[in-house]
Amino acid sequence: MLRTLIKGAAPLLLLVASASGTFAQEVELAPPGAGSVSAETAFILNTFLFLFAGILVMWMAAGFSMLEAGLVRSKNTSAICLKNIALYSVAGLMYFLVGYNLMYVDVSGWIGSLTLFYSASPAELALQAGDEGALATVLEAGYTTLSDWFFQMVFVATAASIVSGTIAERVRLKPFLIFVVLLTGLIYPIQGAWTWGGGWLAEMGFSDYAGSTIVHSTGGWAALTGAIIIGARRGKYAPDGKVNPIPGANLPLATLGTLILWMGWFGFNGASALAMDSAAALVEISQVFANTNLAAAAGVVTAMVLTALLYGKVDLSMTLNGALAGLVSITAGPDIGSPLLAVLIGAVGGLIVVASVPLLDRLKIDDVVGAVPVHLFAGIWGTLAVALFGEGDLLVQLTGILAIGLFVGVTSSVLWFLLKATIGVRVSEEAEELGLDRTELGLEAYPEFGQGARVF
Amino acid sequence: MKWIMAIIKPFKLEEVREALAASGVEGLTVSEVKGYGRQRGQTEIYRGAEYAVNFLPKVKIEFAVRDEIVEPAVEAIRQAAGTGRIGDGKIFVLEVAKAVRIRTGELDAQAI
């Protein structure tokens, strides 16, 4: 088996080596707005890109909900569904209240401005009221203020939804939502200000196209610290170190969720080109779409092959993780010139998942859906890949990864500890045994189907 | 009157039902159960961790018969449900103290 693997790898390595040569042919992109369309047309197209792609990314909330609903036990399904739609809404509100301003408005290196409520700009409101003279000011921005807000808002919601999956089946609703309030209102916007907001990391040259670190690793750190501080599900790890699998109740839902996320990712990466106003911009977006798909596909195939080799049978849940890990891996640099490199980057994402899921179990860190390998570890890989294969600087990328990791890791930990010490985060033993649907919500996801997860 | 209870492999249900109808059994109750005998369970893997599934899915069929039909019924089940491999199941024959048809009130042999 191993010999066949190595023999197969050799021609692949040759291909990759020759593909790196195609880097010289990377398309020279004109800056946004430099095409031959009028300023207003450019404005319209750019805004449309954000609005439409924002819908695709919003739809990822459905993806996360279904993925998580499929991988928890039936007795906890309603609870996880509620957490998902709730966190999406809380994130949207917090980002409106304070988040966007903290991240994007008057960013002074480390932080934006702490003002309340984001809204359309005065010039836009004037234009809407009929003042034609305001048009020039409006067009200067390149796109509407609220389309940008909308597009950015769905990103922070995505980061928050990473957390719910990891710590599922043992966390109470209230402390979880309090955490989300602070993650989306404070933690995410601040590290976002350092980067996309134009702060110190951006000035250093930190390159994260659509957020492998900024969105995915951030969510991943919040999830990992939560899993460690809150502890594993009862019965998951025996005292002698044996791992007791807790299979998900609905793999079709998990598969559906994964494919929905895959589709949403075209908006996630695609619109991070931030412009749709010239032929060159569309060339970039097309490359991004192609690379995004290739990376996901490579992640799937890699996970399938590896689980088949390791366990004798392909593991569907890790294959699903593989797709997402591939997507997260390419997210930092989906505009890469060589599609073959996108395949390689995604494949490594799949490898990371298959290697780290059992590793977390050995460390007794209970990650119900595999979000930490998918979002945190693959996120780190994706960010580094920009330096290895793209135009990023390795030291700068590492600085960003470590700085954001430290910031999010420490603040999240403090938050989890505070919540644990004050109102408590975990449900009671009895509630965990009966299931969160009955104890937290008072309703069952599958009331006609009997008991769900039983002893035998 | 006797009560016959048999634990069989689920995929054999249709065959057993037809064989019983041919031997004069006119009604059945079927339930999905789990269990094991000398056939142990099997091992499955989820996300890299092994777990043993000790209880295997089976089907339990049960019905009442007049004494004359007991032997043919038991033989019919044995023939239809057997595969020759372990896990084929078991048949039990119990005594019935009384039987009543709810609709008409008929008793014992008339109720079956």
Q: Strand, helix or coil at A448? A: coil
A139 is written with which tokens?
Answer: 């067009």
> Looking at the complex, does the CB of residue A367 fall below 8 Å from at least one CB of chain B?
no
DSSP H or E run through B12 = none
If you compute the radius of gyration of chain B from its CA atoms, what whole number of angstroms results? 17
Task: Give the model confidence (pLDDT) of B53-63 as tens digits.
Answer: 788 889 999 99
Closest CA to A415 of A186, A165, A161: A186
Closest-CA residue of chain A to B41: A456
Q: Do A245 and B34 touch (CB under 8 A)?
A: no
Show the low-confidence residues of chain B (pLDDT under 70): none
CA-CA distance, A369 to A194, in Å (whole number)? 30
Q: What ipTM was assigned to the predicted interfaces of this complex? A: 0.71
B48 neighbourhood in chain A, CB within 8 Å: 243, 310-311, 315, 318, 357-358, 361
Whole-angstrom Cα distance, residue A379 to residue A211?
Answer: 8
Q: Is residue B43 within 8 angstroms of chain A, CB to CB?
A: no
Rounded to 10°, the helix A39-71/A145-166 angle is 10
A356 in B contact zone (CB under 8 Å): no
Q: Is B49 on the interface with A (CB under 8 A)?
A: yes
In chain A, where the domains are located: 38-120+131-441
Q: Is residue A153 within 8 Å of A100, Cβ to Cβ? A: yes
What average pLDDT does this structure show over A429-443?
A: 89
Q: Which residue has the higher pLDDT, A443 or A6?
A: A443
Nearest CA in chain B to A455: B55
Smallest Cα distance from B18 to chain A, Å: 29
Which pLDDT does position A23 carry in this prediction? 35
- Rounded-to-integer distance, Cα B55 and Cα A159, Å: 41
A265 with A329: CB under 8 angstroms? no
Give the nearest partner residue to B48 out of A244, A246, A311, using CB atoms.
Answer: A311
Q: What pLDDT shows up at residue A16?
A: 47
Smallest CA–CA separation between B33 and chain A, in Å?
Answer: 11
Rounded Cα distance between A55 and A59, Å, is 6
Nearest CA in chain B to A246: B46
- B34 to chain A, any CB pair closer than 8 A? The answer is yes
B2-110 carries CATH number 3.30.2090.10:
no
Mean pLDDT (whole number) for A55-66? 97
Q: Do B49 and A315 touch (CB under 8 A)?
A: no
Residue of B32, B33, B40, B47 to mutate, testing the A interface (most A Cβ within 10 Å of its Cβ): B47
Per CATH, domain A38-120+131-441 is 1.10.10.60? no
The model's pLDDT over A135-162, given as tens digits with 9 standing for 90+, comes to 998 999 899 999 999 999 999 999 999 9
Task: Decide: B31 and B63 in contact? Cβ < 8 Å.
Answer: no
Q: Which among A71, A236, A242, A243 is the top mutation candidate for probing chain B, defined by the most B β-carbons within 10 Å of its own β-carbon?
A: A243
Look at residue A338 and give its three-state secondary structure. coil
